[in-house]
Chain A
Amino acid sequence: MTKALRHPLTDYIRRGAEMTPLCAGCGSGIVAQAILRAIHRLNLDMDDLVFVSGIGCAGWIPSPYFNADTLHTMPGRSVAVATGVKLFRPGLKVVVISGDGDLVGLGGNHLLHAARRGAGLVVVCVNNGVYELTGGQTTPGLASEIPTFGEYAPPFDACDLMRAAGATYVARWTVYHALDLSLSVQKALLHPGFSFIEAVSYCRTHAGPRVGSRGPVEMMQLYRDRAVPVERVRALGLTGLRGRWAVGEFVGPRTTPCEAEEEDLPEVVLNPT
């Protein structure tokens, strides 16, 4: 007796859109599963979710594959489009999934102000450090260390940026930390404020060969070794990590932006005499 194997997330995939355009072994598959598993665990109705994506490989994670309303928007504008959706239909859970080139580069201003505005968007920034779709040019994100066309400027720490901009839930995981990533998405989906989750991923096609790793497994091992839990970074009082990445929850979930709470301030600042 044989029974056809059925993936537990099949119902979350749009019918007729089963074939992924992503390369075999791409980290985006892990991000897709992390998001869908979080939705599954929360037992959310896909009709209450809207997925907004920009341009680039990460834009293909939800569109058209997730079995919900999907808006595949313009380069950099996904967060601004999502803001319009959320403001008019606050009852919908609006999830933005896009790459670091799209969100932090071209759309950086929209991202900053969305965090400041605090509309309840869930932004999943798939950071692999390259513009994959166009052949692997350098992006501003953290994993960006592969200079192409003379880009030698240091990368952005998008989580730091989001914290400063007023995001009330900020977390970073790599695709090696698939379960943590999924649990963070779960928290973000329940968080009424602005959530930013950086999913450090890899591009095995364009970036992998340049950092001397050949395949997805080597890339995952590399990411595992680079990740340092944020609690440890804080305990050691480190400010720079020399190419290693802090992972974990940086902010919240909390009700107000980090800078807004008085009790965070020591007495000497509150009452200088």
Chain B
Amino acid sequence: MSEGVLKGRHSMTGEEACAEGAIAAGCQFFAGYPSAPSLGVADRLARRLPEVGGTYVQMEDAAGAISSVVGASWAGAKAMTATSGMGIGLMQEEISYAVATETPCVIVDVQREGHRGGALEDLVQSRCGPHGPHEIVVFAPASPQEMFDLTICAFSAAEKFRTPVLIAADTFVGHGREAVEMPREEEIPFVWRRIAVADEEGEEVRGFLETWVAPMPVIGRGLKAHVTASCHDAYGRRTALDAGALDRFVRALCGKIQRYRGDLTITEAEGPEEARVALVGYGSAGRVAQATARRAYEEGLPVEAFRLTTLWPFPESEVADLARRVKTILVLEDNLGQMVHYIRAAAQGGAEVVFLPPEAVGALHRPAYVLEKIQEVLS
């Protein structure tokens, strides 16, 4: 295998594509703990990162992996970890810490299929799992190509907004093998965090929460960073006595994601204007939605597909628009209903929201099964 960023067209699994996307985005540090079905990411990076001058370490547990990612990120690295159901559960405390300390990092969660200790059930957890008031960014790729593209997107968003970004993949996407087109190097967005500079006196470094996304006082540069997840002021100093500081701290953390949600929201609508039914899904269920909608259209049914690529911040206005366009929203998820509640809330009664569980948990929806449901809804 050649050194550096891969170019051209390759047949690879979603996990391999994710690892290559990380390298293309400039990832320099990966800490992992073996957790199926995310192993492909770590396996690939263990071999590839040293080739591009990066660092790979296997830690003693998933909490250790995300902790060392946080440490490496503060030391200036673009850093990532990958895990699955149980590991992501262990990482919640540290993800909360990364949110509160505004630590850029990427966390890949290749969720398990079915009910073997995980299921595709980490979607609400990825939003609500970490303690403390926060907003978070979660992308749901639907193909190996998107594993590549969205890993680059995740690094860009993490660096730009100084926040942890999650990639919530499912096993079909992670293990599935497809053609992946690597863009030319100059086409790859390469985003770095803004780094603080010491002021003339070389004393206090203004930074934390001063602006929506403050420059980061990366350690080892004489900036005397004071990093704490406790409520802190514009200098990073912990403050427990100033009631106003807590208000500013929490509002700034949540505000920066809310303010730039437009930059972070990716959705894909596909279908005729006169559509009366929308199939909504994400990940591999999103692809089933698209494939079924195309088949329905060929059969002359007014069906649109709507795929959520950004799960959080939740694309509320996009779903609200959809609810105004169609009469019925049919939600496909590879679980017993996670995002459907948020979709229903965003639809605000504009369209009827119907949940379509998989025939068997752990198996993809068959298009014929979905088509049957569409006929039922339309009649």
Contact = CB atoms under 8 A, between A and B. Distances in A.
Q: Which of B67, B70, B221 has the most CB of A within 10 A?
A: B67
A88 B75 contact: yes
A48 B221 CA distance: 8
Contacts of A52: 71
Nearest to B64: A80
Contacts of A112: 60
A73 interface: yes
Contacts of A77: 63-64, 67, 93-94, 97
A14 interface: yes
Interface stretch (A63-71, A170-178, A181-189): A63-71
A80 B67 contact: yes
A15 B237 CA distance: 11
A109 interface: yes
Interface string A73-109: 1110100111111111101100000000000000001
Contact of B97 (A68, A73, A110): A73
A113 interface: yes
A272 interface: no
Contacts of B230: 72
B100 to A, nearest CB: 10
B61 A109 contact: yes
Nearest to B73: A84
A262 interface: no
Nearest to A117: B57
A77 B219 CA distance: 18
B291 interface: no
Interface in B207-260: 217, 219-230, 235-238
B247 to A, nearest CB: 21
Interface in A38-53: 46-48, 50, 52
Contact of B223 (A16, A69, A75, A82): A69
A64 B238 contact: yes
Given A77-B94, A88-B28, A88-B29, A71 B68 contact: no
Q: Which of A73, A86, A112 has the most CB of B within 10 A?
A: A73
Q: Which of A47, A73, A81 has the most CB of B within 10 A?
A: A81
A109 B62 CA distance: 12
Contacts of B67: 73-74, 77, 80-81, 83-84, 110
Given A69-B224, A83-B57, A109-B61, A17 B203 contact: no
B68 A15 contact: no
Interface residues of A, number: 37
Contacts of A63: 226, 228
B153 interface: no
Nearest to B67: A80
Interface in B60-93: 60-61, 63-65, 67-77, 79, 93
Interface in B87-145: 93-94, 97
B311 to A, nearest CB: 25
A75 B57 CA distance: 22
Contact of B60 (A14, A47, A109): A109
B222 A87 contact: no
B227 A74 contact: no
Interface string B32-72: 00000000000000000000000101011101110111111
Given A71-B219, A110-B60, A110-B67, A84 B31 contact: yes
A226 B69 CA distance: 41
Nearest to A52: B71
Interface of B: 28-29, 31, 55, 57, 59-61, 63-65, 67-77, 79, 93-94, 97, 203-204, 217, 219-230, 235-238
6 contacts: A69-B224, A80-B65, A84-B67, A88-B29, A88-B55, A110-B60
Interface of A: 14-17, 46-48, 50, 52, 63-64, 67-75, 77, 80-89, 91-92, 109-110, 112-113
Given A15-B204, A80-B64, A81-B67, 7 more contacts: A17-B237, A46-B224, A73-B97, A81-B70, A84-B75, A85-B74, A89-B219
